[in-house]
Amino acid sequence: ETGVTQTPRHLVMGMTNKKSLKCEQHLGHNAMYWYKQSAKKPLELMFVYSLEERVENNSVPSRFSPECPNSSHLFLHLHTLQPEDSALYLCASSQVHSYEQYFGPGTRLTVT
């Protein structure tokens, strides 16, 4: 599969569960991003990894924990989430010195 892939595409979890979202890019990029998209709100940047180092954490609660083991893979580990965390979580990638980002299809998360 080409481009940016994300798994799972849909996830329902209870507030006490622990789950992980996975993102993989096949574009040879070296920067990766996690965004949250809630209804009627702009895309919110959560985390940025540039050359596998985290360079931005936009005041995201600690119940969200990113991991970037290499330039092609990005994870978002979730634990003790709240119902208001229900949203579409999008992964994107780009070259470090480019502003053009390519998005994965997203994981639609519902916290019950």
Partner 1 sequence: RKEVEQDPGPFNVPEGATVAFNCTYSNSASQSFFWYRQDCRKEPKLLMSVYSSGNEDGRFTAQLNRASQYISLLIRDSKLSDSATYLCVDSGNSGGYQKVTFGTGTKLQVIP
- Which parts of this chain interact with partner 1 (CB under 8 A)? 31, 33, 40-43, 45, 48, 50, 55-56, 90, 94, 96-106, 108
Name which of 16 and 70 has its Cβ closer to partner 1: 70
Q: By C-alpha distance, which of 21, 5, 40 is closest to 109?
A: 21
Name which of 107 and 111 has its Cβ closer to partner 1: 107
CB of 99 to partner 1, least distance (A): 4
